[in-house]
Structure 1
Amino acid sequence: MIDAMSGLPLFSFLWPEMLWLLGFVLVLGAAYVWLDARRRRVAVHYPALRTVGLTPTGGAGWRRHVSPVLALLALSALIFAIARPQAVLMLPSRIETVMLVMDLSGSMRAQDVKPTRIRAAQQAAKVLLDAQPSGVKVGVVAMAATAAVAQAPSRNREDVASAIDRLKPQGGTALGNGLLIALTTLLPEATTDAALLMDDDIPPQKTADALGGDDKRPGAYASGAIVLFSDGESNAGPAVAQAAQLAAAHGVRIYTVGVGTTDGVVLSVDGWSARVKLDEQVLKQVADITGAEYFRLEDASQLRKVYRALSARLAFDKRNQVEITAFFAALGALLAGCAGLLSLWWFGRVL
């Protein structure tokens, strides 16, 4: 079986050829069944032998089989250990930098999320900020018609929180630009590819063909991540999907938090009115492309739920194959010890 997130087999062996030794376990099991049946036949034909303990007694019952079964299981576990099993485990990711991308478009003034979309996003961002370990740097990208770094990655939580509080809704939405600015801040080596995407004079197809990246699997970059707070609408800048593909090529995950409701609300600003809705499809696409996850924030009461989910993903986001030979070796030793002790206790002998 393959882990879809990491591309690694969930369970494998370094020396699978050693598993043929399990055939001996089957032979021993069959031999035990044959010997037990033979003793039973002897007991039927020579009942007097029971009095001197040469045949099994009915009083022992199921206990006669416990120790042999445990011994066979112990042998199987030890053979598995010889084959050196590996399993995909979730490990702490040693994340060093988190970039928060805040959508400041006019639609973020909508009040379908109380008190407003932008205020709910700011609250969620600050809760996530407080949850990060002291050694993790957090940066902020402000994104409207253009995008810029509002706070360079810093370990000073007060500076980052102040930068988040200063953000105000503006006009336009360049979602792709916001992601690219966050990516180049996180990984300066992606600047050249990001510049190609931002160049309006280059046709989209030619730009896509020119992009290189590191050709890593999505999520391979374990030292940083991007978290986007947005309602998903974009009307300027490069295509959002291309920005996500570039991030994926560099192994960077983009977690997306949808702020708003799918039904939306009519927003009136400066004499014009329009219904603004949460575009979940765009946000889910960004998360899927980069091997991350999408979350939805409909109201302030869900803020804690989103925070817990995001914190868990950022803290344990590294999948790695770990050899678990010691586990099977210890299990085999434990089962063998139990088999011997139970036999000694019940019958006064070791097996």
Structure 2
Amino acid sequence: MSFLAPERLWLLLLVPALVAGYLVVQWRRKKYALRFTNLALLSRVAPRNPGWRRHLAAALMIVTVGLLATAFARPQTQVEVPRERATIIVTVDVSISMRADDVDPTRLRAAQDAAKAFVDSLPPKFNVALVSFAGTASILVPPTTDRAAVVRAIDGLELAESTATGEAIFTSLDALKQVPADPSRPAEPAPARIVLLSDGYRNIGRSVQDGVAAARRARVPIYTIAFGTPFGSVEIEGQRTPVPVDEETMRQIADATGAKSYTAASSEELEEVYTDIGSSVGYTTEEQEITSQWTGYALLTALVTAAASLFLLGRLP
């Protein structure tokens, strides 16, 4: 167990201080009784000695103080939290060819808009991860239910050189490894889908075929959205360079993994991506504040203290 406000634990010094104070009071009470030599008169005027009952009530009060001091320090502990494992990996091409404006306003901007609309449409319990790729591929946002974090990362995408489509698939599969395991079936991968938004042409890194083979082994369908036309072009070092869309490669990726391919104009149909994904629950270990739990312990002890004082001593403390 740890504490969010450990500096407040000094209040626990009140516990030994109260114990010492109580012992001093008992010693002085005993000393006064010994000084009162007329024991017959003392037995008449003094109330019946409550004995151990008085000590029980005092001990409970001191325990209550200790519990309240601990609660005030905001304790936290590690707990197992259930988490839905169903995951969608949104993988976006940020290669220079995505700067082409044959899709309004540009291929990249259209892909960003489509990705954000898709993320917003997903069921809240699903995890979403974001992968971007150009010459290399990176996991920008690991699987999470925080839609705002994914949308911010999509808005922040920047163009870079080359297109490593095969690496993008491998990196998307790596992102799935960050989803918590199902304790009842630890070897079973999380139910998942990859949505690949690209203009299709690979020119660096591992081959698309190797990536597709890995996705098939993992049984993860790759839905593709092709952005561009056969007539797209971009200006590179002052020269206009053709960058036609490779719809055939995008279609082959989808077909080989048991998914579907789309164009930018038809991506509204993407609900099909998650309609049959299924559900699986895993558990993650998280730090969770348990101040209310310790406050409850203190309240319960205070109630027992009051009851003990009332029924054993005839008065409230």
Under a length normalisation based on structure 1, what TM-score does the superposition of the two structures give?
0.51
Aligned residue identity for 2:123: P
Select which of 256, 267, 275 maps to 1:289: 256
* Deviation string, structure 1 residues 14-53 (Cα, Å, up to 9, x no partner): xxxxxxxxxxxxxxxxxxxxxxxxxxxxxxxxxxxxxxxx
Conservation of the 8 A alpha-carbon contact between 1:222 and 1:317: no
Q: Provide the rounded CA distance (Å) in 1 between the counterparts of 2:175 and 2:131.
A: 9
Of residues 269-278 and 124-133 in structure 1, the stretch that sits farther from structure 2 once superposed is: 269-278
Q: Provide the rounded CA distance (Å) in 2 between the counterparts of 1:274 and 1:282.
A: 20
* Mapping 1:156-305, distance limit 5 Å: 156-187=146-177, 223-261=191-229, 263-297=230-264, 302=265, 305=266
CA RMSD in angstroms comes to: 2.1
Post-superposition shift, 1:175?
A: 0.6
Q: Provide the rounded CA distance (Å) in 1 between the counterparts of 2:89 and 2:159.
A: 19
Q: Provide the rounded CA distance (Å) in 2 between the counterparts of 1:182 and 1:159.
A: 17
Aligned residue identity for 1:312: E
The equivalent of 1:101 in structure 2 is 91
Q: Provide the rounded CA distance (Å) in 1 between the counterparts of 2:160 and 2:207.
A: 20
Aligned residue identity for 1:161: V
Q: Which has the larger radius of gyration?
A: 2
Change (3 A) 1:185 1:234: same
The equivalent of 1:312 in structure 2 is 272
Post-superposition shift, 1:273?
A: 2.4
Q: Provide the rounded CA distance (Å) in 2 between the counterparts of 1:131 and 1:294.
A: 19
Aligned residue identity for 2:120: D
Q: Provide the rounded CA distance (Å) in 2 between the counterparts of 1:265 and 1:253.
A: 28
Count of residue correspondences? 188
The equivalent of 1:137 in structure 2 is 127
Partner SS state of residue 274, structure 2: helix
The percentage of aligned residue pairs carrying the same residue is 35
Q: Provide the rounded CA distance (Å) in 2 between the counterparts of 1:313 and 1:238.
A: 26
* Deviation string, structure 1 residues 97-144 (Cα, Å, up to 9, x no partner): 100111011000000000000000000000000011111111111100
Partner SS state of residue 148, structure 2: helix
Q: Provide the rounded CA distance (Å) in 2 between the counterparts of 1:96 and 1:253.
A: 13
Post-superposition shift, 1:265?
A: 2.2
Under a length normalisation based on structure 2, what TM-score does the superposition of the two structures give?
0.56
Q: Provide the rounded CA distance (Å) in 2 between the counterparts of 1:174 and 1:272.
A: 23
Change (3 A) 1:221 1:280: farther
